[in-house]
Amino acid sequence: MTARQIIPAIDLIDGQVVRLYQGDYAKQTQYSLSPLDLAKRYAQAGAAWLHIVDLSGAKTPEKRQVELIGQIAALGVINCQAGGGVRSKEDIQALLDAGVKRVVLGSVAVKQPELVREWLEYFGAEAIVLALDVNITADGRKLVATHGWQQDSGVEITALLESYVSAGVKHVLCTDIACDGTLAGPNQKLYEEMKATFPSIQWQASGGIGNLDHIRHLAASSVDHLILGRALLEGRFSLEEAKNLWEGN
């Protein structure tokens, strides 16, 4: 059983650390921080994993920042999972060759599930993370969005995952888009439902964490791992404080 972990996140556009509000590229905040220095800081605070989102690559695959991601991985101080604009077997291989331990697949996992199941078999379940970002409708349907949250796939997350579980998927990062970047709290009910429905999956919760109480409440659930982005960048609490709450439960 994998120990539950806090996983800090770095979002990158053209080499700069940024955050988007609810996935909107027009609502981005830039931080005057070096991605490499930030990775070192998180490692020194005790993080074992770093989540890297290549937002340039997610929007324009030709602008994927594989070289920069490789530089972060080459520091050798923290394990990296990274994604953004990954569309092919070659894209996955390029990130793994750059030193990334787990490649995060978003839109392609929704649009081409048969292909991604082949990749799971080829690369192994430990090398793949499915990033499933959901819009929850008024009647409770959990629809997965694609292409940097710009498009609604019409696919429900439960139906999609049923096919992936049989293919051996192990890691899923799930974000409620309505919560992301808001600091207003996570959708705890969503994660509890997903973990109960798919207990074999290591779930990574993402979006909405704004204070230590949010972490304390979510830590009482069965969710495996927690991604933290904006709250850490803005110094709302330290990574050490978050780790103590999350990993101590």
- Tell me which residue of 31, 32, 27 sits closest to 182, measured CA to CA: 27
Burial, 25: exposed, middle or buried (Cβ in 10 Å; 0-12, 13-18, 19+)? middle
Catalytic positions are 11, 133
User: What whole-number distance in Å separates Cα of residue 46 and Cα of residue 228?
Assistant: 14
CA distance 19 to 14: 13
Question: With b meaning 16 or more CB within 10 Å and e meaning fewer, what string describes 33-55?
Answer: eebeebbebbbebebebbbbbbb
Q: What is the pLDDT along the chain (249 residues), one digit of tens a residue?
A: 468 999 999 999 999 999 887 777 888 899 999 999 999 999 999 999 999 999 999 888 889 999 999 999 999 999 999 999 899 999 999 999 999 999 999 989 999 999 999 999 999 999 999 999 898 888 989 999 875 545 565 889 999 999 999 999 999 999 998 887 788 999 999 999 999 999 999 999 999 999 999 999 999 989 999 999 999 999 999 999 999 999 875
The Cα–Cα gap between 66 and 40 comes to: 18
The rounded distance, in Å, linking the Cα atoms of 176 and 189 is: 11
Task: Pull the structure tokens for residue 230.
Answer: 């904006």
pLDDT tens, position by position, 117-149 = 999 999 999 999 999 989 888 898 999 987 554
Q: Superfamily assignment of 5-247 in CATH?
A: Aldolase class I (3.20.20.70)
12: alpha, beta or left? (left if phi > 0; alpha if psi -120 to 50): beta
Residue 1 CA: distances (Å) to CA of 194, 199, 202, 243: 18, 12, 9, 18
Kindly list the domain boundaries of the chain, sorted by start residue.
Answer: 5-247
Question: Do 201 and 170 contact (CB within 8 A), yes or no?
Answer: yes
pTM above 0.85?
yes
